Amino acid sequence: MAQRNWSDLLPRLLSSIVMIAVGLVLILLGGIWFRIAMVLLCGGMIWELARMVAPHSGSRALQLGGAAALCLSGALVLPGSYGLPLLLLPSMLGIALVPRQRTLFMTFTAMILLAAYGMARLRGDQEVIWVFWIVFVVVLTDVAGYFAGRMIGGPKFWPRVSPKKTWSGTIAGWVAAGVVGVGFGLATGFGPGLAGVSVALSMASQMGDIAESAAKRKVGVKDSSDLIPGHGGLLDRFDGMLGAALMLLLTGPWTGLFATTIGQ
């Protein structure tokens, strides 16, 4: 019998409603507003990450978060591929400024900046519907996994790293993503093949979630911060989006959905 613990449902639901409303407005506005949102999210996540790996270095966390925001801003402003080195610069700065867990910081920082850059370029280069597609895939993967895991339960996915995740919730996320892919494929004329890409994005979002859980266990923290009631911090909420955005960067040239910046 599955253990149903709904104590965190109300704060998660209220926070989710606010985030979804703000996110929808920013996606529809696009342009400078969406880019500012990506810059702020990126800076906030790097600040959280720095605090996780070096909890007693508050000023350095702010410096690294600010540097990440500035570097992403520069990468989005500079033409073509000229700004790409800026996406890796904060990772290199972390080697000098972070006293421990440098590899963890360097890896996650690069992931965060590349993912934020990819989402900003996706909104700028493609129709808004493709941003909604990836958001729907990630959100419904999380929602389906949450409810299926608590209502069905069953074997744990990886209890040592993420004790609440179950195989039932994981598979429910894949099914939900496939349904989203079929719907968007029919609506856009892209075809049912989009379901396969959607399931892959779902898996990538789950991998991002698991990777962040493993990082928190490694440094001994429960949440990346307490900025979002019921969810923890920005990293806790957007870890799945990081994984999916990185996957999209890899599959974009194949699907034709993501415009490359090389040579522009």
Spell out the domain ranges in the chain.
26-125, 127-264
- CB-count burial class (<10 Å; 0-12, 13-18, 19+) for 79: exposed
Distances, alpha carbon 130 to alpha carbons 14, 127, 176, in Å = 26, 6, 17
pTM of the complete model? 0.86
**Bridge partners (DSSP) listed for residue 158:** 162
Q: Which pLDDT score is estimated for 89?
A: 96
CB burial string 37-51: b at 16+ within 10 A, e below: bbbebbbbbbbbbbb
The Cβ of residue 127 has, within 10 Å, a number of other Cβ atoms equal to: 12
- Residue 56, SS3 per DSSP: coil
Q: Give me the helices (H) in the chain, please.
A: 9-29, 31-53, 58-77, 84-97, 102-125, 128-151, 167-188, 194-219, 234-255
- Encode pLDDT of 97-156 as tens digits: 888 889 999 999 999 999 999 899 888 877 788 899 999 999 999 989 888 888 888 888
For residue 64, what pLDDT is reported? 94
* Residue 264 bridge partners (DSSP): none
Distances in Å between the Cα of 30 and the Cα atoms of 123, 155, 187, 256 are 7, 42, 21, 20
Distance CA 143, CA 202 (A): 12
What tokens were used for 232? 């923890």
Taking 50 as the pLDDT cut, the residues of the chain under it are 1-3, 254, 258-264
Residue 255: its pLDDT value, please? 54
Q: What is the pLDDT of residue 203?
A: 96
